[in-house]
Structure 1
């Protein structure tokens, strides 16, 4: 009796747990009229959801000087978060090939940067006593998205497939770099394509059907429990 009752309750509990899990929503990709990618909405990075906008500008216009920031880049103090965000973006971009990131209305790019403090170059002077003085620098560092490598290898793959059809070359593997590259020593006044992050305000909430399902699971658990009890008493 106890075993049968336990099995029934366990099955219902498992069903209830599956109902209360939040629905996973896929990230949405925004394109301009030229078919280039302008933004990614609802990108999951670790435990947080972000909206990502690709902006071509200079570091100084967006954030100021590394030694005197006017706006703190989202992952400036979070090296692991910067790596996770690069990998999350690249995985999304791989699904959009051959679309590229919009750099302006007519041109696109496969490169983008996420500014990160630990990748920033440090310029210093050492006096006669060996004292080190770090100087303000007009250079910034960050992590460089690897989508450019993936994109180029996809193009190479297509070329080799064409050659294969005429029995010229028939062996190719798409290579994707997993670890983001450090992109250090870039002038803060040099235009680059940046990934700009903002928190995604759309919170995931349980769907109404899930709430109803929970109620049904609870009632069934109670009824089955009583039925088994009365049957064996």
Structure 2
């Protein structure tokens, strides 16, 4: 089950965090993985790990907020059967403490970046007779989180784009879903704690972990496993859905 043999999968943000875990797992399932990342060194590291495990991968290194670059890179690929939009950035701030430059930066990567890859990939999928898209939303798409104004805006847009694409292209054989993680233990979390709570990293990590009713953060591999399922033929009857993967945060955190 969940085999992706002969499929070509583009994973944005595939150089680190959840995107890296997704790239590794899709390759393990047999896909030829295109690691798309702004950070060439990180992307090459992911490619090296895939190839060392016997998988197939190559890289395209670009800024997803630049449409011409995305379109040009995608046109050079022989096929795009799967698109996983995992590239994203975060920001801490409320509506009145978020600078315009920070708002634009989050929008350009998290919203426009997803739009750009959809714009480039969907015509290819239509020509091929179908495809699968999985977008990275967040629990911030569904519930209010403190000090996450710009980030929540962007992930709400990702959810809305997911539903729109699922509706518009269902007749073209394209399925589109999104996943909404709560906190996931990635290098971003470690860097955030080191920067903002020097000397208190372990204490704050424990505090953040316990905001999930399940008592811990998710592992990137757990998010990747859900995405693998949604990309597989076994999920062929699923489109237009958002999947919270949140340790009970949305329903049990009250």
TM-score bracket, normalised by the shorter chain, equals under 0.3
Q: TM-score, normalised by structure 1?
A: 0.27
Greater gyration radius: 1
Q: TM-score, normalised by structure 2?
A: 0.25
If asked which structure has higher relative contact order (CA below 8 Å, sep 6+), I would say 1
